[in-house]
Structure 1
Amino acid sequence: MRSRRPWPDNSRRRRTEMSRLRQLGGTQQALLCHLLRHPDGTDVESLCARLRISHNAVRQHLTALIAHGWVERAPSLPTGGRPQARFRLTGSGHELFPRNYALIASELLDAVAEKLGEDGTREMLTRLGEKLGGAEPLHGACDAEIAQALAHRLDRAGYEAIATTRGGQAQVEAFNCVFHGLARRHRHVCSFDIAFMETATGRRIEHTECIVRGGNVCRFAIAGERQPMHEHALGAKNE
């Protein structure tokens, strides 16, 4: 059986790391850029020549970057002599550099919508949300606990979410729409969020406020037990 990929929880970390790159000094930025261009790693001598600083200074910078988890030791290359220490970027180090996933995601959704139409696109996004939501089910003794667990999960994914109560109803408020650019062009993207939340919580979710549609937050209300799958699908088609 194919394992399911868990709901990602590194969006906030990625944003933080990208801002940290801009906060680093010029020498450390240049060092990281040099390692980016040498994925198999490079030695201290090469870094000294590239950065025009001493061996001791290079090692001090490397020690600091290793402590942050952005650089690691790389396997030594056979030279016939004494092995030389080599260094390379870690996965977190690579994430310091800008990514543009939204562009290709938007183009992919355009292609899917053109091929499948509105209903087909909504169904595809719903299934994807259900798949990810089912990978890590949330548990709680009541709606308030479910909302708290859901807010924590969404917050890990970068939504800046909190659990709250309105009119006696447990809700989640998300202050950051992680798909904002996509959702402005493709309103069906919200189907992914709802399907994920409903599958993860086993509850019906009402999307009562939306940032893309002019709201101050994305508000998700916990609205009782989830419908059986076939009823849920019919309801989505009739929206």
Structure 2
Amino acid sequence: MTPPIQADMNNIGETKEKILELLLHNGAMTAGEVSDKLQIQKSAARVHLESLKTLGAIKSKFQIEKMGRPKKVYELTEKGRELFPRKYDLFLNLVLNKIAGKKGEDEAREIVESVADDVASGIRARISQENSGGNLERSLRIISDASNEMGFVSSLEKDEKDNSYCIQSKNCILYKVASSNQKTICHGLHDRIISKSLGQSKAGVRVELKECMALGNEYCRHVIRSVA
């Protein structure tokens, strides 16, 4: 049996979940084929399919037949496939532990830091393009937006009292891995992405992790402030 769809899709309803499972197992299907499998009206199946298409979970195309008119079929998008459980964190944890066991923890951390540097390089390029003036707040907003795109659910706030900034992330995309490798993931990856995105930790700017989900806090909070 297919594992249940993850919590972020629980609000789509049982019928849509069944449709996604059908498309996962059977590949592209017509509205008529879906209605037959679920024993619902074809019009109802089409409404659910179009709704899932609007959500970006499925897409449609016309399939050419040897005889007769082309038929409209629906299939999962990559976003739709991602709605089913995937144990990325489990395998990443195993990989890190294997590297640490064979090469040492320093080697594992260096690899993670190298990944962070690659991610930060892309964000820096975006900052250069969108914020050529080098405004710190604008740069941090771009970093926060990039964090959102990665799934961290981040927001940027400014503390007017000391002119510091805070990037608050409410979702840890590597929570299970970070819980077992807090220093490597939270500092070697998350901290480093933010600091390196500013340009080699940007002289005169300090990035500090004040709260961390891997340590039991409700969210991760990075404070960024200018230093003399």
TM-score (norm 2): 0.76
Q: How many residues align?
A: 208
2:189 is matched with: 192
Q: 1:130 aligns with which of 117, 122, 134?
A: 117
Q: Does residue 181 of the first structure (1) align with residue 176 of the second (2)?
A: yes
1:75-114 matches, within 5 Å, as: 75-76=62-63, 78-114=65-101
Letter in 1 for 2:115: L
Q: Does residue 219 of the first structure (1) align with residue 222 of the second (2)?
A: yes
* Distance of aligned partners of 1:66 and 1:178 in 2 relative to their CA distance in 1, 3 Å threshold: closer
2:14 is matched with: 26
Structure 1 segments, 4+ long, off by >6 Å, are none
1:68 is matched with: 55
Q: 1:149 aligns with which of 142, 152, 158?
A: 142
Aligned equivalents of 2:13, 2:225: Cα separation in 1: 47
Aligned equivalents of 2:46, 2:217: Cα separation in 1: 50
Q: Does residue 168 of the first structure (1) align with residue 155 of the second (2)?
A: no
Structure 1 residues 46-85: Cα deviation after superposition (integer angstroms, max 9, x where no partner): 2222111222222222232223332222341534344332
Aligned equivalents of 1:134, 1:28: Cα separation in 2: 39
Aligned equivalents of 2:19, 2:13: Cα separation in 1: 10
Letter in 2 for 1:21: M
Aligned equivalents of 1:45, 1:79: Cα separation in 2: 19
2:210 is matched with: 209
Letter in 2 for 1:99: R
Q: Does the 8 A contact of 2:159 with 2:165 survive in 1?
A: yes
Letter in 2 for 1:188: T
Aligned equivalents of 1:63, 1:84: Cα separation in 2: 15
Between the aligned residues of both structures, percent identity stands at 19
Q: Give how far 1:102 is off.
A: 0.9
Q: Give how far 1:223 is off.
A: 5.0
Q: Does the 8 A contact of 1:143 with 1:222 survive in 2?
A: no
* Distance of aligned partners of 1:163 and 1:196 in 2 relative to their CA distance in 1, 3 Å threshold: same
Q: Give how far 1:215 is off.
A: 5.2
1:229 is matched with: none
RMSD of aligned C-alpha atoms?
Answer: 2.8
Structure 1 residues 67-110: Cα deviation after superposition (integer angstroms, max 9, x where no partner): 33322223415343443322212222223323321111111111
Instruction: Give structure 2 stretches of 5+ with no counterpart.
Output: none
Aligned equivalents of 2:42, 2:137: Cα separation in 1: 57
Letter in 2 for 1:101: Y
Q: Does the 8 A contact of 1:162 with 1:172 survive in 2?
A: yes
Larger RCO (CA under 8 A, 6+ residues apart): 1
Aligned equivalents of 2:102, 2:160: Cα separation in 1: 41
1:231 is matched with: none
Structure 1 residues 14-49: Cα deviation after superposition (integer angstroms, max 9, x where no partner): xxx95453222322221221111122x012332222
